[in-house]
Structure 1
Amino acid sequence: MGRFFYDNVTNSVEMDDRALAHLRLVIMTKLRRGEPLMFETSSPHGTSRRDFWLHPTISVQFQFAGSRQPQINPRWIDALMESANSADGLRMVPEPQG
């Protein structure tokens, strides 16, 4: 399990390395373009939710538990980017199969 850090080490969310690798590509693309965004995460059991306002001036970090880069699914990147560009902001969507 990897970890997404926001602003400092006390604001973090744990998630699967594969999902984190895909989110990293989407978040970094948006921030590199100077496009702030809302990022919503929910607990594994759906009992709580956290929203993060991501802006190019706020520090974010991605810590991976494994040493190997997960294989990237371009269709999942597209689905996550579509979510990031929506009025609701970036949300974890299921990985498209196929």
Structure 2
Amino acid sequence: MGLLFYGSSERPIRIPDRVLAHVKVVIATKLRRGESFTMSWRHPDDEEGGRSTIWIQPSIPLRFVFGSIEPEMLDPALLQSFANSANSSSGLTIDIDADASADAARSSSRPA
């Protein structure tokens, strides 16, 4: 499981490594172009609250921490989907629960 530290908050946003790798590329691309946008997600069932939205812009510090030592393989279709979402008026929306389940299935199928 990866972590996204946003602004001065010491409480990270927990995001599966696979999703975080794609989010990182989309955020870096948008910020490199000087474009700000929102990122939204529903909180996992084990966390308080319903959903969150944050404003992504160049002056707000971000730190990406990945649980895995190995970099994730990027899926061009998922990258395009995230980029299109980030470019929309509703901003980038990610589904942490669906991707967390996929991450758990993938890690349990890896040899120890």
Question: Structure 1 length as normaliser, TM-score?
Answer: 0.88
Query: Could you tell me how far apart the structure 1 residues matched to 2:85 and 2:14 are?
Result: 20
- The CA distance in 1 between the partners of 2:42 and 2:29, in whole Å, is 22
The percent of aligned pairs where both chains have the same amino acid is 34
Match of 1:54 in 2: 56
Unaligned runs of 5+ in 1: none
> In the TM superposition, what whole-angstrom CA distance separates every residue of 1:6-62 from its partner, at most 9, and x where no partner exists?
012424210110010000000110011100011112112396111100111110110
5+ long unaligned stretches in structure 2: 100-112
Task: Return closer, same or farther for 1:67/1:9 CA change in 2, 3 Å cut-off.
Answer: farther
Specify which structure has the higher proportion of strand: 1
CA RMSD of aligned residues (A): 1.9
* Counterparts of 2:14 and 2:8, CA distance in 1: 14
**Equivalent residue for 1:77, pick from 73, 79, 104:** 79
| Count of aligned pairs between the two proteins | 95
User: Partners of 1:12 and 1:91 in 2: how far apart?
Assistant: 17
Structure 1 runs (4+) deviating above 6 angstroms are none
State the distance in 2 between where 1:59 and 1:75 align: 28
Higher normalized helix content (fraction of residues): 2
